[in-house]
Chain A
Amino acid sequence: MRDGLVWMLWLAIAVSAPFFAGQHLLYNIGIVATTAAIVSGLTLISGVGGLISIAQSAFVAIGCYCAVLLNLHLGIPMLIGIPIAAAVSGAVGWLLGFLCLRLDGHFLALVTLAFSGIVHYAIINLDIAGGAVGLAVPTVTLFGFVMDSPMAIYVITVVASGLTLWFIGLLINSRYGRVLRALRQSEIAAVSLGVDRRSLRTMALATSAVAGGFAGSFQMLQVTYLDPHQFTIVSSVFYIAIMVVGGMRSVHGAIIGAAIFVFVPEFLSGLETYMAFILFLLVTVFIVIMPDGLASIFSVPGRISRWISSRFERKNKNA
């Protein structure tokens, strides 16, 4: 029920934004949506699965570059190329998981760290991908119309990220999500009940890669230029920070975290060069005092009502 209410809140904001928001705010809300969808992949693998992936920006990069290159060299329209690119990104994620998830969790952190570095270097050194200069993003056409107005881009990207978030949210609450969570909470217990941890975790990593590639490609439509320096290890770390600050147990956390990382820098922009420093200082303090993330405030009403009802039951028992 509470979950549904929060979804309604996001939906209301997304639908009403074009009516109240100016162009700049609308752009930022769109960025929040796509960033949240990228981070929701991390929520699945890290928050629910308990494994650290430092490769999310690499998956985003694979998605973006695939979609653009398919368009430039094979003439495949962007809206068809993006799902293909997301699938490619997912396949790479699956392969990465297949190769290294035989091992204990934190090896994934190291492999994905190295993978991020490799993808970044590969992009810079590949001439077909524009090298260090980058590529301009082609425009999207839908039923023969060129979708390049801010409003059209907002609608396309928000719908795409909404679908991604909704899908990941369903997945987290599905049977697979519960098994993945059980695996995090007690690996031994879960395995003794017959859970195939390797294939499950590999699928989770692949799904997170699909989400990254898909939502990332739509973010590229908003940014309109592919600069290889958007896809470094540092940007992967940013996605992890967004997940942790928002709360890593649900997709709502990804949305809250993304909103904070988009809008707080706007408020802090007066700090200029000190902005990133203050931001990460806040993040660190935040992790220490509130390790469950901001989304845990949604559970406060539930906790209060449980507390009241437990008091009530005790009184009844006494009587």
Chain B
Amino acid sequence: MVETFIQLMLGGVIAGSVYALIAISLVLIHNGTGVVNFAFGDQLMAGVYVLVFSQHFLGLSLAPAVAIAVVVSGLFGLAIQFLVMAPLRNRPVLIPIVATIAIGAVLREGIRAFMGPNAWPVPFLLSTSPYHIGGVSIVPSDLAILGTSVIIMLCLYAFFEFTKYGQAILAACANPTGALIVGIPAGATTTSIWILSSMLAAIAGIVIAPLTTLTPDIGLIAIKGFAAAVLGGFASLPGAVVGGVLLGIIEAMAGYYISSAMKDIASYAVLVAVIVFRPTGLFNRASIRKV
């Protein structure tokens, strides 16, 4: 009984760490540019496909393939900013948001057309043979997921806390007008946010893909990132991390103790419930523009 519970917690935290990565990127883009990025899930999916492509067709080993996937994804973020977001920056925010929906559809349908609708195998980061510690089985490849996510989050923390660029991005997210007044270039921060979050998309995708099956529709996983971000209040990066882990745990518990169909619905239900009952997120008292 206790073992099952611990096992579920572990699984929840592992999946949740990836949801946290997704939530961080979504919150970054939302706070920094005002756009809710509905293309994120598809960027994530495309990142994994670049990895698979470089492994299967270019014959690269894992490490360079991952590097290529992250770089390509970052360049794609740059392209989104310059080709779509910059020309639309003076339009009402509805238009850029709809544009992200369209970009997501382009990626999804493009990958479906060029790589086929069927699932592709994605390499595990470590071995999949479990160790048993007192009734709880621990799989190295799952730990690799957790480890990678934690390392990435620590890197992000260091970047935002200790570098000038990170501080500038945080400032632009917290108060765009104030950041402009003290001389932080708005264009440069928006561009770096798009690049950074797109690179995070590829990383999150590569980390989570072995747990699911890689098809062009894997991008729907971004909804879990949205749920995590909303759970954390859609405002702060630490909130996004806690929201992600919490969602992972809720999902694992609902999937086991209620029914397996609930596992998929859990994130939707959390998303709706939080927005309806506690729109500031679980932790914030901060202001959300209430009507």
Contact = CB atoms under 8 A, between A and B. Distances in A.
B102 interface: yes
A129 to B, nearest CB: 14
B112 interface: yes
Nearest to A273: B113
Contact of A237 (B101, B268, B275): B101
Contact of A280 (B94, B106, B265, B291): B106
Residue from the set B91, B101, B227, B279 with the largest chain A CB neighbour count within 10 Å? B101
A170 interface: no
A107 interface: yes
B182 interface: no
B289 interface: yes
Contact of B102 (A99, A103, A110, A283): A283
A93 to B, nearest CB: 14
A284 interface: yes
Interface residues of A, number: 42
Contacts of B269: 114, 118
Interface string B244-282: 000000000000000001001101110110011001000
A102 interface: yes
A110 B225 CA distance: 11
Contacts of B94: 46, 50, 52
Interface stretch (B81-89, B130-138, B164-172): B81-89
A106 B34 CA distance: 10
A104 B265 contact: no
A273 B101 CA distance: 20
A104 B291 contact: yes
A49 to B, nearest CB: 10
Contacts of B230: 110
B284 to A, nearest CB: 13
A198 B291 CA distance: 7
B98 A276 contact: no
B88 A284 contact: no
Interface string A110-140: 1101110110010001000000000000000
Interface in B64-120: 83-84, 87-88, 91-95, 97-99, 101-106, 109-110, 112-113
A240 interface: yes
B98 A118 contact: no
Interface in A117-175: 117-118, 121, 125
A111 B83 contact: no
A288 B268 contact: no
Given A288-B84, A288-B88, A103 B275 contact: yes
A215 B180 CA distance: 48
A100 interface: yes
Contact of B291 (A101, A109, A273, A287): A101
A277 interface: yes
A197 B290 CA distance: 11
Contact of B83 (A50, A113, A118, A288): A288
A38 interface: no
Interface string A187-198: 000000000011
Nearest to B277: A99
B49 interface: no
Given A104-B289, A118-B268, A233-B220, A287 B95 contact: yes
B275 A110 contact: yes
Contacts, number: 127
B36 interface: yes
B261 A280 contact: no
B144 interface: no
Contacts of A280: 102, 105-106, 109
Contacts of B87: 288
B288 interface: yes
B110 to A, nearest CB: 4
Contacts of A114: 223, 226-227, 267-269, 271-272
Contact of A113 (B92, B103, B105, B226): B226
A240 B275 contact: no
B223 A113 contact: yes
A107 B273 CA distance: 12
A111 B220 CA distance: 15
Nearest to A98: B276
B275 A107 contact: yes
B271 A110 contact: yes
B264 A121 contact: yes
Contacts of B38: 109, 113
Contacts of B88: 287-288, 291
B261 A121 contact: yes
Contacts of A197: 291
Closest 9 CB pairs of A and B: A276-B109, A114-B271, A114-B268, A280-B105, A277-B109, A284-B102, A104-B289, A280-B106, A277-B110
Given A52-B98, A114-B271, A241-B102, 18 more contacts: A99-B276, A102-B291, A103-B289, A106-B36, A109-B38, A114-B226, A114-B227, A115-B272, A117-B265, A121-B261, A121-B265, A198-B291, A244-B98, A277-B113, A284-B103, A287-B84, A287-B98, A288-B83
11 contacts: A50-B94, A109-B38, A115-B268, A118-B265, A118-B268, A121-B264, A125-B261, A276-B109, A281-B110, A288-B88, A291-B91
Interface of B: 36, 38, 83-84, 87-88, 91-95, 97-99, 101-106, 109-110, 112-113, 220, 223, 226-227, 230, 261, 264-265, 267-269, 271-272, 275-276, 279, 288-291
